[in-house]
Amino acid sequence: MNPMKLIDGKEIAAQIKQELADKVTQWKAEGRKVPHLAAVLVGNDPASETYVASKVKACQQVGFKSTELRYPAEITEEQLLAVVEKLNADKDVDGYIVQLPLPAHISEQKILLAVDPAKDVDGFHPCNVGKMVTGLPAYVPATPAGIVELLKRYEIPTRGKHCVVIGRSNIVGTPVSVLMSRKDKYADCTVTLCHSRTQNIKEITLQADILIVALGKPHFVTADMVKEGAVVIDVGIHRVPSDQTKSGFRLIGDVDFEQVAPKCSYITPVPGGVGPMTIVSLLQNTLKACEGK
């Protein structure tokens, strides 16, 4: 058996950022518009703060214009809808995201439906989801797009392989199950979608050539659930207390990395696997949104 290889999301993300930066430099030289990504942040959820800060930083690194719009948690649904309308109408903004979760008094569905599908670089609008399912050009949600990009850049064969996805969220599990079943060189699998209520889940995961885990439960996947030589993609990210680090915590995934890694042909670490890819996929969508202008 081949030794286990680590899928380095940081390295691949850095390559893509360089490609995007080169493109922006070329566009500037041609006098073309620079891509502009806006982010709407409501309240001060720590995870959301971190995400938005890293998106703004990534925009700076590749030469994109970025705008951060912050609002207090008390903002009304009506006021937030007005912000969305304003962004829809702003010709300079190519794409924008409304960072989730939103406060309980605001309907996430109502806000997401109000986003112009042509600026929906998160790929959450039903219009983009429908296009993705039918194989039309669309903005694909960032994390699933990043996962497919990793498989592609590592040239991991998918044709005819059995891919098992654990988790059925609209952000990762469901869209990635659709993408992995596409007739595409790097996503051409037979797909099984499992979730928290799946019975005999271990029997199913043991059949997986490619296992994508996005359940949101720390160390849910253990070594006895993975077959020898499988490719494991871990989307989960959790903070757990640790006396080994200066910060007092460390990050772990949905997969028990130490136990599972020796059985794999390829595996993504947490952090540094899927995470960095999510942000570059968002930048790739924003470039796509600007391309037609």
Binding residues: 167-169, 237
Q: Catalytic residue at 99? A: yes
Catalytic residue among 17, 55, 161, 263: 55
β-sheet with 95-98: strand ranges across:
65-71, 36-42, 95-98
Residues 6+ apart with CB under 8 A from 45: 99, 101
Separation CA 153–CA 196 (nearest Å): 31
Q: Catalytic residue at 55? A: yes
Cis ω on the peptide bond leading into residue 271 (within 30° of 0)?
A: yes
How many distinct helices (H) and strands (E) make up the chain?
A: 10, 11
User: Which structure tokens are listed for 257?
Assistant: 């990395």
Separation CA 30–CA 53 (nearest Å): 30
DSSP single-letter state for residue 270: S
Catalytic residue among 122, 209, 234, 254: 122
Catalytic residue among 94, 99, 120, 209: 99
Which 3 state secondary structure label does DSSP give 40? strand
Which neighbouring-strand residues pair with 187?
Answer: 184
DSSP single-letter state for residue 105: T
How are beta strands 95-98 and 162-166 bridged, if at all? unpaired
Separation CA 183–CA 110 (nearest Å): 33
In 3D, which of 62, 116, 71, 63 has the Cα closest to residue 89? 116
Q: Catalytic residue at 57? A: no
Residues 6+ apart with CB under 8 A from 227: 206, 207, 208, 263
- Going by the annotation, the residues of the binding site for NADP(+) are 167-169, 237
What are the residue numbers of the active site? Answer: 55, 99, 122
